[in-house]
C-alpha cells in the first residue's frame, strides 16, 4: 500500500518547467459597458416636460383630440431628450386611455426610465 501512495504522489508532483510565480490574468468573456447616466440637466428637463404634460392633461381631459396631441408632443420631446426608450410607448398608450390623464403617467414613465435603465440581465456562464 505504501508503494501505491508514493506512485500517486509522483503523478501529482508539479512539473518544474511551470513557473508558479507568474500571475495569470484572463480577459473577461464579455466587456462590461458602463451604465449610461443622464446629466442632471437632462433629467430636470425630462421631469419638467413630463410634469407640464401631466398638468395639461388634467385640464384637457374632456377634449380627447387635444389630449392626444399633447401626449404625442410629450412623447416626441421625451424621445428627443432621453433617447430611444421602449418605456415611452406604454406611457403614450396609457395616456390615450380616456380618464387616465388625471394620473401623472409621464412623470412615472420618466422615473421608471431613470431607475430601470441601468439594470441589466446577469450574464449566464
Across residues 26-40, what is the average pLDDT? 68
More confident call, 18 vs 39: 39
4 within domain boundaries: no
Tell me, what's the pLDDT at 29?
A: 65
Nearest 10 degrees: Cα torsion 110, 114, 116, 117: 110
Q: Confirm whether 82 is domain-assigned.
A: yes
Cβ(58)–Cβ(99) below 8 Å = no
Instruction: Count structural domains, the chain.
Output: 1
Q: Is residue 41 part of a domain?
A: no
Please count the other Cβ atoms lying within 10 Å of the Cβ belonging to residue 123: 9
Range of the domain at 94: 60-116
Amino acid at each position: 500500500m505504501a508503494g501505491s501512495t508514493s506512485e500517486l504522489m509522483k503523478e501529482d508532483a508539479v512539473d518544474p518547467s511551470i513557473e508558479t510565480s507568474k500571475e495569470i490574468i484572463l480577459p473577461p468573456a464579455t466587456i462590461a459597458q458602463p451604465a449610461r447616466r443622464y446629466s442632471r440637466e437632462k433629467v430636470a428637463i425630462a421631469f419638467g416636460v413630463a410634469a407640464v404634460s401631466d398638468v395639461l392633461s388634467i385640464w384637457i381631459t374632456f377634449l380627447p383630440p387635444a389630449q392626444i396631441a399633447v401626449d404625442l408632443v410629450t412623447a416626441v420631446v421625451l424621445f428627443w431628450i432621453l433617447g430611444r426608450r421602449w418605456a415611452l410607448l406604454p406611457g403614450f398608450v396609457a395616456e390615450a386611455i380616456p380618464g387616465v390623464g388625471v394620473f401623472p403617467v409621464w412623470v412615472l414613465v420618466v422615473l421608471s426610465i431613470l431607475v430601470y435603465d441601468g439594470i441589466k440581465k446577469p450574464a449566464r456562464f
